[in-house]
Amino acid sequence: MPDTFGRAEFEKAAAYIRARSAHRPTVGVVLGSGLNPLAEEIAQADVIPYEEIPYFPAATVEGHVGRLLLGLLQGMPVLVMQGRVHYYEGYSMQQVTFPVRVMRTLGVHTLILTNAAGGLNPAFRAGDLMLITDHINLMGMTGLNPLRGPNDPALGPRFPDMSKVYDPGLRRLALRVAGELNIPLQQGVYIGLAGPTFETPADIRFLRLIGADAVGMSTVPEAIVARHGSMRVLGISGISNVAIAEADAAGEASHEEVLEAGRLLVPRLTALLRGILAELARQQP
Ligand code: HPA
């Protein structure tokens, strides 16, 4: 499999998906670790395993199913990724973000990114939802930017603006819907690390110091590529564990803990996403 792609590959994958489903979604949803049960609620779903889509990266981590679903949620045609791939799995940044390019090629203009994240903000508890207001691209600052390499101006600009990655209108909508449904919704800055190691207590103190509220191993590359292609992005983290900032503290971070918290987070996240999609359906022309 090539580790960089261009329009020919995006078109080929998009054509394959178009041939497998009559749905023409304009909203995409990426479901993060342990959050994928939402996909079971999609009506009239066409289900395509990632392996069958040309060039699509296959999910390798427990808790990531690896299927694309096209169907209806709250009457809104959606394209849902049940599981994503991460850089730490050995994929290039272009492979990690390939599905976002394909969504854009398919006409998706609104992308909802979800993830499981560690809480850095001392006010956060496991089971909280956090609306992402902004991100820190720590992996990109050290060279792992998905836009590294030749730029195709037909896809987006060489130096894309990142001053409003998480669409202000979508954020207002999410806050309003959460308020109406009585779903507690924290807000904060997500910081993306490459993983797969969890952070040391010293890492955690550093991440807090530089202004991050939640830490994870995904989302940032996808949000960057989506913005490069002028998509509107909404990001929601499910706080699956609170980060440990003191050396020698009791307790350890584990993937099982992340998946277990996902089970608690799913009902809240599902209700919030349903509410948001119902509003987006109402705003359709
Ligand atoms: N750190 C990094 N990524 C994560 C965490 C964490 O504590 N929890 C879920 N994803």
CATH code, domain with 164: 3.40.50.1580
Amino acid at position 216, single letter: G
For residue 82, what are the contacts with CB-CB under 8 A and spacing of at least 6? 31, 36, 39, 64, 65, 66, 67, 68, 69
Ligand 1 geometric centre to CA of 94 (Å): 22
**Is 247 part of a structural domain of the chain?**
yes
Residue nearest to atom 9 of ligand 1 (CA): 117
**Is 112 part of a structural domain of the chain?**
yes
Active-site residue identified among 88, 109, 260, 281 = 88
Residue nearest to atom 7 of ligand 1 (CA): 118
Residue nearest to atom 2 of ligand 1 (CA): 216
Q: From first to last of its 285 residues, what are the pLDDT tens digits of the chain?
A: 666 799 999 999 999 999 999 999 999 999 987 788 888 889 999 999 999 999 999 877 776 679 999 999 998 999 999 989 999 999 999 999 999 999 999 999 999 999 999 999 999 998 999 999 999 999 998 889 999 999 999 999 999 999 999 999 999 999 999 999 999 999 999 999 998 999 999 999 999 999 999 999 999 999 999 999 999 999 999 999 888 777 777 677 677 777 777 777 889 999 999 999 999 998 876
**Is 78 part of a structural domain of the chain?**
yes
Domain boundaries, position 190: 7-283
CA-CA-CA-CA torsion sign (104, 106, 108, 111): negative
Q: How many domains does the chain have?
A: 1
Residue 89 annotated to the active site: yes
Residue 190 annotated to the active site: no
**Is 1 part of a structural domain of the chain?**
no
Kindly report whether the global pTM for this prediction surpasses the value 0.85.
Answer: yes
**Is 278 part of a structural domain of the chain?**
yes
Residue 16 annotated to the active site: no
Report yes or no: 223 and 113 within 8 Å, Cβ to Cβ: yes
